[in-house]
A = this chain, B = another copy of it.
Amino acid sequence: MRISTKTIGRLSHYRRLLAELLEKGQTHVYSHELARLEGGTAAQVRRDLMAIGCTGSPAKGYDVAVLLKDLEGYMPPAECRRCVLVGVGNLGRALLSYFVGRDSQYTVVAAFDADPERTGRVIHGCRCHPLEELDAVVTGESVKVAMLAVPVEAAQGVADALVRSGVVGLVNFAPVRIWVPEGVYVESVDVSMRLERASFYACQRTRGDVK
């Protein structure tokens, strides 16, 4: 059975929430509690968990530790949670600090930048290489996933280079569509669209026709 992209996104979220609950010492959780934390409905949570074969008990709900383990078993294994970053401007540095927290599941094994001013240094524990070393590092480390935080003009070229070096999963922060071969997956984070949508609904309300 094929699990939808939306469900995968929510499973990721549930995992984060469960890790927090476990840390707090909570041993069991009901679907409606997870739903409230996640912003969805109880039925939705149960469906998502059902999709990957997780079960709970009517009496106590879901066992937090078991559920977390199941989710971790379903989500990418450690070797897929190593990624690289291209572009070490403000956004790139923000991403590095984002993934340096010790509870983060992901590791940025290397960063790259075209600007010599930014390379050769270690930022947030991550070595910053010149772009020329991209292929050697990505191939050498067998990295499959990359984050793209470069200017619009550079995005497609860098994406091509990454794909050539074996990357098959990309998170693109540049506000431009990038083309990749069949079999490569792209997540586009489009900040200006998000801001525009927020403004749109903010406006609607101001105009007085909410909902």
Contact = CB atoms under 8 A, between A and B. Distances in A.
Contact of A5 (B83, B170, B208): B208
Interface string A154-179: 00000000000001111100010100
B168 A185 contact: no
Interface in A74-104: 75-77, 80-81, 83, 89-91, 93-95, 97-99, 104
B80 A90 contact: no
A206 B168 CA distance: 9
Given A106-B192, A144-B202, A207 B186 contact: no
Contacts of A145: 195, 198-199, 202
A192 B90 contact: no
Given A90-B93, A188-B211, A198-B169, A77 B193 contact: no
Nearest to A211: B188
A205 B95 CA distance: 25
Given A80-B203, A90-B94, A93-B90, A198 B185 contact: yes
B202 A76 contact: yes
A73 to B, nearest CB: 12
B188 A210 contact: yes
A198 B143 CA distance: 13
Interface of A: 5, 8-9, 12-13, 16, 37-39, 75-77, 80-81, 83, 89-91, 93-95, 97-99, 104-106, 144-145, 147, 167-171, 175, 177, 182-203, 205-211
